[in-house]
């Protein structure tokens, strides 16, 4: 019996996937539930498992866009498993032996030099002039070396005078995930009235708390006490104070959420992914740190699912891990706000009327000005700053040990 394997639906609203990589070769024997391919959707990279055991016949190439429900391979379930290793190196070696020897290419006769050599046709001349390309830099493929219209179309403007160094270049196809990210970023810039406001945070209080309790916290809970739990807690408090930031536009209506599903931007092997911490307002410091660690590991190992990245009412992104001092993060649509964290650097600040050195982080809030006014956006960011500079009072209700479950 020959089984037709079709592309399953990876999630709601996804209509096609792209074959990112075949993990088996045509003619291999595969076991049931064995991963046979990696497929890219516009939200994640997923593994495609074999539905039955048997000999596989591939029906799609790497890079092909395949509609959900379309056949990508056949599995002959009546075939018996071959004895020994399923290594296909012997097959490849036999194929190599059977390949006929290629004849040496014949030398091309030198082109005859005439008045037409290096001269562009009228259509080619127009194209070269528009591109600013000199005819002398183009090799003509027409009769007697004449520059044709096709030669002019393919001509690339000079990138400056070569200096003798390596000037090679390469091209690679963007993955479906990267193309979708690009579309969403451009859409966010074009379809929202995006504005960014900035502030700075004295991280001294958080540094002191982490220094004092991080070892005990890690020993008891098995996760590190990082900055993300403090920022998530501060964001949740600010969202509850300024609910417009926790809202979205839906046509002519504004939807305001009473829960906080916080998206966290994570850099994965296939690009930026944004898994969601559900109902973060109900989580403790330990709960947030555990969930951040779990989602980050799944994203980096390519195991994150579409459901884990769907939704979210507000996003936090941390460019500081890459050394960013300041940025203007782009809204993650259809959300209306995103908070950018940055690197922490010792800077001179004024404290109690005197100059002091403190660990300072610049923070940025990008927001959709269509539904969030300046007063709300600035108030939101100030609320985040206040909570981070007074975490014991505003995030821990004055009881650090209880808040950290120690």
As annotated, the active-site residues are 369, 373
List the one residue out of 301, 229, 294 whose CA is nearest residue 262. Answer: 229
Structural element, H or E, at residue 291? helix 285-300
Strand partners, 365: 197, 339
Residue 252 DSSP class = T
Contacts of 84 (CB under 8 A, 6+ apart): none
Strand partners, 395: none
Buried (b) or exposed (e) across 181-217, using 16+ Cβ within 10 A? beeeeeebeeebebebbeeebbbbbbeebbeebeeeb
Length of the chain: 406
Contacts of 392 (CB under 8 A, 6+ apart): 205, 209, 398, 400
What does DSSP say about strands 2-6 and 71-76: parallel, antiparallel, or unpaired?
A: antiparallel
Asked if 268 and 40 count as a contact pair (C-beta separation under 8 A), the reply is no
The CA distance from 55 to 30, in Å, is 6
Contacts of 322 (CB under 8 A, 6+ apart): none
User: How buried is 289 (Cβ within 10 angstroms: 0-12 exposed, 13-18 middle, 19+ buried)?
Assistant: buried
The structure tokens 């160094």 sit at 165
Asked if 238 and 384 count as a contact pair (C-beta separation under 8 A), the reply is yes
Asked if 209 and 400 count as a contact pair (C-beta separation under 8 A), the reply is yes
């Amino acid at each position: 019996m020959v089984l037709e394997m079709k592309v399953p639906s990876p999630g709601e609203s996804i209509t096609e996937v792209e074959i990112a990589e075949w993990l088996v070769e045509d003619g291999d024997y595969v076991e049931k539930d064995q991963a046979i391919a990696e497929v890219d959707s516009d939200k994640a990279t997923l593994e495609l498992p074999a539905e039955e055991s048997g000999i596989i016949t591939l029906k799609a190439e790497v890079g092909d866009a395949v509609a959900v429900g379309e056949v990508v391979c056949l599995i002959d379930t009546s075939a018996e498993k071959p004895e020994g290793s399923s290594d296909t190196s012997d097959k490849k070696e036999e194929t190599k032996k059977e390949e006929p020897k290629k004849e040496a290419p014949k030398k091309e006769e030198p082109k005859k030099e005439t008045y037409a050599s290096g001269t562009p046709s009228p259509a080619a001349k127009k194209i070269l002039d528009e591109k600013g390309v000199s005819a002398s830099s183009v090799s003509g493929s027409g009769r007697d070396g004449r520059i044709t219209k096709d030669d002019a179309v393919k001509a690339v403007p000079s990138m400056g005078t070569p200096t003798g160094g390596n000037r090679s270049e390469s091209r690679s196809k963007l993955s479906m995930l990267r193309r979708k990210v690009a579309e969403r970023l451009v859409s966010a810039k074009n379809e929202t009235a995006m504005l960014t406001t900035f502030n700075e945070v004295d991280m001294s209080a958080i540094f002191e708390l982490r220094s004092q309790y991080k070892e005990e916290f890690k020993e008891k809970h098995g996760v590190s006490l990082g900055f993300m739990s403090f920022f998530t807690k501060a964001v949740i408090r600010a969202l509850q104070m300024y609910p417009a930031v926790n809202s979205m536009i839906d046509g002519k209506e504004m939807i305001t959420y009473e829960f906080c599903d916080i998206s966290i931007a994570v850099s994965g092997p296939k690009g930026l992914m944004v898994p969601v911490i559900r109902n973060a307002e109900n989580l403790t410091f330990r709960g947030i740190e555990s969930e951040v660690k779990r989602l980050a590991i799944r994203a980096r190992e390519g195991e994150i699912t579409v459901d884990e990245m769907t939704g979210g009412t507000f996003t936090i992104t941390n460019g500081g891990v890459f050394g960013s001092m300041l940025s203007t993060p782009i809204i993650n649509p259809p959300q209306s706000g995103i908070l950018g964290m940055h690197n922490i650097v010792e800077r001179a600040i004024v404290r109690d009327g005197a100059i002091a050195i403190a660990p300072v982080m610049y923070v940025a809030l990008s927001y959709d000005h269509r539904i969030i006014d300046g007063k709300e956006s600035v108030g939101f960011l100030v609320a985040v700053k206040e909570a981070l500079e007074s975490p014991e009072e505003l995030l821990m209700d004055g009881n650090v040990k209880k808040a950290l479950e120690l």
